[in-house]
Copies of this chain bind each other. A is one copy, B any other.
Amino acid sequence: MSQLPAPSALTQFVTATAGRNMTKAAYTAVVIGILMVVLITVDPAYDAAHHWIRATLWACLAFFAFEWLVRIRYTVMAGRGVSYLFSLHGLIDTASVIAVPIARLLGADARTAWLLAVIWIVKVFPGVPGLRQLRRVLVLESGPLLSVLVLFLMVLFLGSVAEYFLEHDVQPQTFGNVPSALWWAVVTLTTTGYGDVVPITPMGRMVAGIVMICGLGVFGLFTGILATGFAAETRRDNFLKTWETVSKVPFFATLGPSAIADVTHMLRTIDLPARAMIIRKGQQGDCMYFIAAGAVEVDLPGKKVPLGEGAFFGEMALLGNNLRGADVTTTRVSKLLVLDLVDFRLLMARHPDLAETIDNEAKRRAQENK
């Protein structure tokens, strides 16, 4: 693996992917690798095809090792030294590459060592779309979440010592010591309820009932905190994504900064590849679009009308009979701003000048289409 066969060509390929996100190839390798880890533990599959399974696993590992080396080389050449190795991404990649070989060196047998390849799944982690959002929620709400965790632990310990005291004479097998009672308490407080350890004395059941109701409370608080944090984060995220784009659309340029802030709250950004159908003729229309970047094509009978950056479309269904009058397709990779029907109406009500601009354009288009 150390002598890269054709560094210049291959490197170029991988370099393009050396950003934050993984290539599709790497995702495929992760999926195949995890599948093989699962298969290696199934005796019939292992007996029938262990050569194939292990070969595939080695291939995946080789791919990850290669990717890892290229990324190191890339960051070093970009003058950022070995910073990659100490980033979250780099640490995950390093662990993915060295975990299995090290386990082998330490004397684990092959079948057990390959189990460690399950950590390849963590490579998907940095690419999860809403992760940043999730992390912000956890950080901002860490105070209340920690409080709930402490309450959880308090109920856990008090409940399990009480159950140990009440049940250990009757059920020495299952409630014979506090660690066993703790196991019962975790299973109960999370409302999982396996039923392998269950109180049978009347007092024990009463305590268990209280622990269960506390479980509901912990659950409710947990959900409430996360829901609260998530609602705030979603609003924030959308605002940030949209703000940059709004100020670049000439249509909104006449608005003062305060009105732009107002408008930003109403819009949503979407990114589309080329040749994506945005509007289908005959469908119900519940939003209009502004082109922030890219271009689209309106498919009118007999002619195709191109629309470029700064143009808007889809307003006619909102002003008229609610049905889309023509297909609209992107011709390039495009970034659009979406204005929902509700917000369209609020915007028209609050900014009569924008309403007039849109009305006039809609009338001009209706004229033209006749």
Say whether A150 faces chain B, with CB atoms less than 8 Å apart. Answer: yes
Interfacial chain B residues near A195, Cβ < 8 Å: 193-196
A103-142 interface with B by 8 A CB criterion? 112, 115, 118-119, 121-122, 124-125, 128-131, 133-134
Q: Are A223 and B228 in contact (CB under 8 A)?
A: no
- Place the interface of chain A in its size category: 35 or more
Assembly stoichiometry (copies): 4
Q: Are B115 and A130 in contact (CB under 8 A)?
A: no
Q: Are A177 and B43 in contact (CB under 8 A)?
A: yes
Interfacial chain B residues near A183, Cβ < 8 Å: 205, 209
Interfacial chain B residues near A161, Cβ < 8 Å: 37, 115, 118
Segment of A71-79, A295-303, A305-313, A338-346 engaged in the interface with chain B:
A338-346
Segment of A9-17, A348-356, A362-370 engaged in the interface with chain B:
A348-356
Say whether A63 faces chain B, with CB atoms less than 8 Å apart. Answer: no
Interface residues of chain A, those whose CB is within 8 Å of chain B, are 34, 37-38, 41-43, 112, 115, 118-119, 121-122, 124-125, 128-131, 133-134, 143-144, 146-148, 150-151, 153-154, 157-158, 161, 164-165, 168, 176-179, 182-183, 186-188, 190-196, 198, 202, 205, 208-209, 212-213, 215-231, 234, 236, 239-240, 243, 256-258, 260-261, 286, 340-342, 345-346, 348-350, 352, 355
Identify the 10 closest CB pairs spanning chains A and B, nearest first.
Answer: A224-B227, A130-B147, A192-B193, A194-B195, A257-B349, A195-B195, A190-B212, A220-B226, A118-B161, A224-B226
